[in-house]
Structure 1
Amino acid sequence: MLLGVIADDFTGASDIANTLAKGLPRQGGLRTVQYLGIPRAKAEPEVEAGVIALKSRSIDVASAVEQSLESLRWLLDQGCRQIVFKYCSTFDSTPAGNIGPVAEALAEALGVSGVIACPAFPGADRTVYNGHLFVKDRLLSESGLQNHPLNPMTDADIRRWLRLQSTTEVGHVEIAVVRQGSAEIGAALRENGERNRTLVIVDAITDDDLVAIGRAAAGDRLVTGGSGIAIGLAANFIEQGLAAGTSASVAGVDGPEAILAGSCSGATREQVEIHRKNHPTLAIDVGGVMAGSVTTAMLTSFLLANEGRAPLVYSSSTPDEVQAVQARFGREAVAAALDELFAKTAQELVKAGVRRLVVAGGETSGAVVSALDLGALTIGPEIDPGVPVLLSGGAKAVSLALKSGNFGAPDFFVKALERLAGR
């Protein structure tokens, strides 16, 4: 294994696995596998990039650090020459963590400083300019992410946000330096490291910027960022003759289908509204979930009864509705109850023969795939930017699409089901 990724959630893991498998045009990417949690056995010898999906974004800092360091040890044992710590392109975290503490712990373990921190993903309209994170033409703090139910992002200056989580000053490489090329980027990173800055925010507005940053990181032991940071990393190994370059190509799995949506993002709510016009949908009453009157059996029965019609169940709500429910029952209690509901529903669906499963929302995806315990997932073709087809092994293979809340075109759900079937 050449490159190892530690991802702080399951949709993000799929996102960066897709980026590594795809690589650059006309060059191809790395043979990539996504692991659901820390593997128990050694990687297969043909794997060139291994992505460990953790559910560590919103847990306590100590546990997130512990899981990430354990992942690091496994990846190093597989021979990885470079490690990527992958977090969300909207930098989802609280002022206390977990991005800073995990990144610093990994840097200390590897003995490095002046480490790239770049959440930019232009393909999904996330850019970094003057150390500020933008979503399309809006500052992060004005993009709707300030209303995130678990990690509200109220400051677009990610240098300042990361400094709250870090033990050293946070550096910055501005876009003017990035546009001078990889040699200047590398020099700026080394200078920041010499000034005792463990983490360095690097501006990026286009994919070309990310390719230049990737070339600058060719010899780095540790890189951190969103999935966009990986755009140029596969090319480094291919150009060094360590990998031949390959394209993601797996057959789909046809069969009964279901869609589970737990994200409250604006993009997912729009996708739900469009889908419900022509397909059976069921809104989850969160109050009923907390009272025990909305059950796994109810959701499973609805989805199985509408086989062949792309059925959807969802808990997606507006920010005001989310805040009202959290105020009544408690944020952590609501999140845990919904995670359990979706996880058990997915288990029952797969037992009943569902073979195509689309899941929207990072926390929801983490709960679902953890419950299914599918092992390593093969990376297939891209459905929409950042969302690939995922295929489990075994006699009864399951094809999955794990969608971050803000990702995907308005018609994503129907498109995803078609791609999962190989169409």
Structure 2
Amino acid sequence: MKMLVIADDFTGANDTGVQLAKKGARTEVLLQSDPTVNSRADVLVINTESRAVDAQAAARCVTEAIEHYAEQRPTLYKKIDSTFRGNPGAEIAAALAATGARLAVIAAAIPAAGRTTLNGECLVNRQPLHTTEFASDPKTPILSSRIATILASQTALPIEEFSLAAVRSPSLGEQLAALAQQQTLVVMDAETEEDLAAIARAAARLAFPVVWVGAAGLANALPATLYMQPRSRLPLLIVAGSMSEATRKQIHYASAHENTAVVDVFPQALLGEEAADCLNRLADESAAALLRQQHCILRASRSEQERELIGSLCQQWQLSRQQLGETISKRLAELTVAILNRAQIGGLFLTGGDIATAVAASLHAKGYRISGEIAPCIPWCTFVHSDLDDLPVITKAGGFGSENIISEAIGFLERLYEE
């Protein structure tokens, strides 16, 4: 997660989040803070629902939301109402205190919606805010059009106002940097989308982090580098739990024709007292390959002779063939999750129904959502109700598929990410 957006109401959370999502960011809007959210998300948007509470409670909501994600050190965007209803001063001050940032860059204008800022005042369709219907809002009435006055009613931090001339000046960045001696709220004039873009460019180049404060307009102007991880073709993780001859041939073909690393998983090593240590070693080896941008194949069977060892393993561990299969599938699923916690992947290829079921269960998914097929009888899906809901997953019965099916899967995944 690269950016945390904290909004004070649900519709504001959505209309700001969509500005980032439409640029390609994986954006999730949460109804409450949750430190276990999707690790693949670029942007998390938290709705604190704090617009109509008192200023002290609103500040506390913001502080708690930031503290949930402090270890990830995301860029912070404090979404406020474009007409400054609610508790903007208290919430911005809380955001500065919680992050330690020096500046809050405040640009609430949404020119496309008739919301602009001129001479430090908020205008709605060119009318001063206090003369519009927002002044008599039943929950959060507005008493002034001057933004500094609204903010100062809830915080004692210094407030600076930047005129349109300052915003449009080539020295905007230097002027902002000069204020960084102490925590300061900086109110920016903006009449056009280009004004917002100039503010975003200048503040993004500063040598220190800032708290971004605004509505949908400023969010739309932000450079994508602030909230998106660089996109690259991520490798495929193939979990080949099937011991069929067809699967062995498919692995052999892929290892000869693709940039792959084959990690052998011996079933007997997953059953003993050292199984946990074995899983950790295999997870480290697999993750290292994926981080080298190699596709990684977890291979449970190298030969027909290894398949014939199943009977002796059943005798050794006093398990039926079904029980042994379920145990090995569960261990392979645990290994898959351990790898996913160590490295990013572009997709999963799961061979064998037991493996597909066990992996979904280990990821707390409710099932699979079928999206299509990459070859006859070989579907591609996504998980249902999992942290990895958007991860492409290809499932295949052990004996199905042509010799080059893993290569086909790799090509399919690359085309999918190019769309």
Paired position in structure 2 for 1:188: 175
Gap change, CA 1:158 and 1:83, over 3 Å in 2: same
Q: Which has the larger radius of gyration?
A: 2
**1:16 pairs with 2:9:** no
Q: Give the TM-score taking structure 1 as reference length.
A: 0.52
- The one-letter code of the counterpart of 1:65 is A
Secondary structure of the residue aligned to 1:44 is coil
Partner of 1:33: 28
The secondary structure found in structure 2 opposite 1:12 is helix
Going from structure 1 to structure 2, the CA distance change for 1:30 and 1:81 (only over 3 Å counts) comes to: same
Q: Which runs of 5+ in 2 are unaligned?
A: 233-383, 387-419
CA contact (8 A) 2:96 2:183 kept: no
Instruction: Name 2:257's counterpart in structure 1.
Output: none
Is 1:30–1:234's contact at 8 Å kept on the other side of the alignment? no
Q: Which has the higher contact order (CA 8 A, sep 6+)?
A: 1
Aligned to 2:402: none
Q: Does 1:202 align with 2:197?
A: no
**1:85 and 2:108 are equivalent in the alignment:** no
Structure-2 separation of matches of 1:157 and 1:235: 31
The aligned counterpart of 2:6 is 6
Residue-by-residue CA offset, 1:44-103 (whole Å, 9 max, x unaligned): 1220011001110111222212221111022333x243101111011103xxxx211221
Residue 287 of structure 1 is matched in structure 2 by none
Q: CA deviation at 1:18?
A: 0.9
Can you list the C-alpha shifts for 1:382-409, whole angstroms capped at 9, x where unaligned?
Answer: xxxxxxxxxxx759xxxxxxxxxxxxxx
Asked if 2 retains the 8 angstrom alpha-carbon contact of 1:30 and 1:243, the reply is no
- Counterpart residue identity of residue 216, structure 2: S
Q: Give, in angstroms, the shift of residue 119 of structure 1.
A: 1.2
What is the one-letter code of the residue matched to 1:213? Answer: I
The percent identity for this pair of structures is: 31
Work out the CA distance in 1 between the residues paired with 2:184 and 2:124: 26
Q: CA–CA distance in 2 between the matches of 1:161 and 1:57?
A: 14
What displacement does 1:234 show?
A: 4.4
Structure 1 CA distance for aligned equivalents of residues 82 and 226 of structure 2: 24
Corresponding residue for residue 52 of structure 1: 46
The residue aligned with 2:164 is: 175
Per-residue CA shift, 1:228-275, capped at 9, x if unaligned? 22122242348xx83339xxxxxxxxxxxxxxxxxxxxxxxxxxxxxx
Amino acid at match of 1:76: A
Q: After TM superposition, give the deviation of residue 38 of structure 1 in Å.
A: 1.3
TM-score (norm 2): 0.52
CA distance in 2, matches of 1:178, 1:231: 17
Q: 1:113 to 1:221 in 2, by over 3 A?
A: closer
Return the offset for 1:197.
5.3
User: Closer, same or farther in 2 for the Cα pair 1:234/1:75, shift >3 Å?
Assistant: farther
Partner of 2:218: 229
The answer for the alignment partner of 1:119 in structure 2 is: 108
Residues 121 and 75 (structure 1 numbering): CA distance in 2 closer, same or farther, change over 3 Å?
farther
Secondary structure of 2:69's partner? helix
| Unaligned segments of structure 1, at least 5 residues | 23-27, 246-392, 396-423
Per the TM alignment, residue 35 of structure 1 is displaced from its structure 2 partner at its CA by 0.6
Code of the aligned partner of 1:86:
K
- Indicate the SS of the match to 1:6: strand
Q: How much has 1:5 moved relative to structure 2?
A: 0.5
Report how many aligned residue pairs link the two structures.
232
How far 1:187 moved relative to its partner?
A: 1.9
Question: 2:134 corresponds to which residue?
Answer: 145
* Contact preservation (8 Å) 1:214, 1:231: no
- Closer, same or farther in 2 for the Cα pair 1:197/1:173, shift >3 Å? farther
Aligned-residue RMSD, C-alpha: 2.2
SS at match of 1:67: helix
With over 3 angstroms needed to count, the CA separation of the structure-2 counterparts of 1:5 and 1:58, relative to structure 1, is same
Q: Alignment partner for residue 129 of structure 1, among 106, 109, 118?
A: 118
Residue 404 of structure 1: aligned partner:
none
Partner of 2:230: 243
Judged with a 3 Å threshold, the aligned counterparts in structure 2 of structure 1 residues 29 and 123 are, in CA distance, closer, same or farther, namely: farther
Aligned pairs (5 A) from 1:19-418: 19-22=19-22, 28-39=23-34, 41-77=35-71, 79-93=72-86, 98-181=87-170, 184-194=171-181, 196=182, 198-218=184-204, 220-237=209-226, 242-244=229-231
